[in-house]
């Protein structure tokens, strides 16, 4: 298998995890999709899921960019245009996964304590949030890998990364404000 296909295989596995989680949760009476405020943070998917996905994409791009800059400033790259080492892609994706777990911990502890969040997430919601964030990281990984196929992808790569980060911020800020204060 080509290393370029690894993020797609991981993404497929994560989709399967999301589907199994949703099926089991639905069988246990947990709503599949939050259609009102009472199901928010309880259902497998809610509008925050989009934000988690976009954060996964954007933060992978940010992690890769900083890693690439640090590598080129501190290391002695033979040719900085060559494909990055596969291990670094895995490292950046693991960073995204760790950030997703840390965010869920912060979201369900600190944000609850300071009254920004009004109820805890269900286990189903936490699992799907982390998984969706990781899927976003896989998309970022795949897009980053594509960027090294041709320099034509470079501009689109950074534009999409910026758009993902901006939309992620807007979704968290706007929906967070609406759900907290209205």
How many domains does the structure of the chain reveal?
1
**Among 141, 168, 160, CA closest to 5:** 141
Indicate if the pLDDT at residue 96 is higher than 70.
yes
Residue 76's pLDDT is 66
pTM of the model: 0.82
| CA dist., res. 14 & res. 34, Å (int) | 21
Gyration radius from the chain CA atoms: 18
pLDDT, tens digit (0-9, with 9 covering 90-100), for 6-34: 888 998 999 999 999 999 999 999 999 88
- 148 burial via Cβ count (<10 Å: 0-12, 13-18, 19+): middle
What is the span of the domain harbouring residue 125? 3-181
More reliable by pLDDT, 129 or 4: 129
């Amino acid at each position: 298998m080509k290393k370029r296909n690894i993020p797609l295989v991981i993404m497929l596995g994560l989709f399967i995890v999301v589907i199994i989680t949703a099926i089991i949760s639905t069988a246990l009476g947990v709503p599949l999709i939050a259609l009102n405020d009472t199901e928010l943070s309880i259902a497998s998917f809610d509008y925050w899921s989009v934000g988690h996905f976009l954060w996964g994409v954007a933060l992978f791009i940010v992690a890769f960019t900083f890693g690439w800059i640090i590598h080129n400033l501190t290391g002695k790259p033979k040719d900085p245009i060559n494909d990055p080492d596969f291990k670094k892609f895995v490292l950046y994706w693991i960073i995204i996964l760790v950030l997703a777990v840390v965010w869920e911990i912060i979201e369900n502890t600190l944000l609850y304590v300071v009254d920004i969040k009004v109820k805890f997430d269900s286990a189903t919601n936490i699992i799907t949030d982390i998984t969706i964030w990781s899927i976003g990281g896989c998309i970022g990984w795949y897009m980053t890998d594509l960027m090294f196929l041709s320099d034509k992808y470079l501009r689109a790569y950074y534009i999409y990364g910026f758009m993902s980060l901006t939309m992620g911020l807007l979704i968290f800020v706007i929906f967070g404000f609406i759900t907290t204060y209205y």
